[in-house]
Amino acid sequence: MPRSARGRRDPETGLRISKPADVTKIIDAAAPALQIIGDDLWNAVQDRLEKTYARYAGKTAPLNDSHRAQYLLSRLLTCACCGGCYTLVAQDCYGCYNRKTKGLSICANTKTITRH
């Protein structure tokens, strides 16, 4: 398989400089002997994928909207100091997420809530 870019090293910086490969040298040819699955199965799967995409088009939420909190109270409680979310910060304790991940410079709240 030909590469789409060829590169060489710059003698002064030692960095790789890439440039596009010559498109006229790329050979595109069918090779039925290398086929793993038959054309009928390929076409059936492609038809099924198109139907599935059409069925769910516009119905799914964007990626970040579809994420769910792993624990019941995560993101429902807020920190009084910084306004950040409370989430599970230890095995059985909810605490400020900003405090845990960003440190005391962002949030000085050390209060935690024990989960029962």
Residue ranges of the domains in the chain?
5-56, 68-114
Tell me if residue 23 falls in helix, strand or coil: helix
Q: Give the alpha-carbon dihedral of 57, 59, 61, 63, to 10 degrees.
A: -30
Q: Which of 71, 104, 107, 103 is closest to 88 using CA atoms?
A: 71
Q: How far apart are CA 45 and CA 37, in angstroms?
A: 11
pLDDT at site 1: 42
The pLDDT confidence band at residue 50, using thresholds 50, 70 and 90, is very high
Q: pLDDT (tens digit, 9 = 90+) per residue, 57-88?
A: 776 666 556 666 777 777 788 999 999 999 88
pLDDT at site 68: 67
Q: Give pTM, 2 decimals.
A: 0.41
